[in-house]
Amino acid sequence: MQIGAEGTASMDETPKGKLSFVSHFYMPSIQLQVKTSLISFPSSATIVSEPLGLVLVISAWNFPFVELLLWSICLITTLSLDPVVGAIAAGNAVVLKPSESAPDTSSLLAKLVEKYMDTSAVKVVEGAVALTTALLHQKWDKIFYTGGSEVGHIVLTCVATHLTPVVLELGGKCPAVLDSNINLKVAVRRIIAGKWGCNNGQACISPDYIITTKDFLLDDAQVSGKIVCGGERDILNIKIAPTLILDVSRDSVVMDEEIFDPILPILTVDKIEESFGVINGKEKPLAAYLFTNDKKLEEKFVRNISAGGIIINDTILHFLEPGLPL
């Protein structure tokens, strides 16, 4: 509680023309007036928000730039710049470390930030594991990391010395459950759009595996022989054809880690409700998809499955809704 004190955070010192896009997101420091009791009479009390300070953003390689025109509003949704925008809007200074797995986009980010943004408030540093490790051993006021869980463990271990608050966006294995009462062609088109149409499977909310019942899937004679569709690889051009794998072992690597490529395993269960146990036996997914015309099954799914987002009879669309959390 502050008595008779005021404090604000301002972006007014930012050079003209730089960081202008932040004005859409930026809200001045909020001052919340709080009622006081007789104990402190006749004082007044105010809760004043303030920036954390210096923020490190370690971003992923798969979506450095994505622009979506949605409901006539231009939204900048990028795994590199989204947390940077939020940090700047709250009045913080930011160091952005793009992924070394995409060196061209990392270089472009560095050039654009240097040219168009205030480098006293935002800096881009480029490098691989050694640089990231060195950065993590510095003292930060907050760290935002997007990537895999293995590196997520390393991040938390490194920052434990300084007790730095960390936000981890680690992805996960997003299931798509297919009930037997659906229009299969429609469902398949929507899963294809969410899997291979969404950066060729290289998206954290893409369907990562399918669960359906044995009798529904094996009615098709072409599938009953455990057919594997696709699988072709072009090593020279680093390409993999869209691939379906039927009844892969549930303890295999492809079912243990986020796939992040055009491979889509299909698991079969005797009853569709058994899919709940399969999903809940893994880490919480960023998204879970159910295709069904059964309202009771839909209610059970929503009640029993915990995920960042749930969509019924489609995939990835929640990401495009500005009113929903990402």
Show which residues are catalytic: 169, 204
Contact 267, 249 (CB under 8 A): no
79 vs 124: CA distance, rounded Å: 14
176 vs 290: CA distance, rounded Å: 6
Contact 105, 65 (CB under 8 A): yes
Burial class (CB in 10 A: 0-12, 13-18, 19+), 240: middle
DSSP category for residue 51: -
Backbone φ and ψ for 96, nearest 5 degrees, come out as -105, 125
Dihedral, CA of residue 22, residue 105, residue 66 and residue 170, to nearest 10: -90
Contact 258, 148 (CB under 8 A): yes
Contact 172, 285 (CB under 8 A): yes
Q: Does residue 78 come out as left (phi exceeding 0), alpha (psi in the -120 to 50 range) or beta?
A: beta
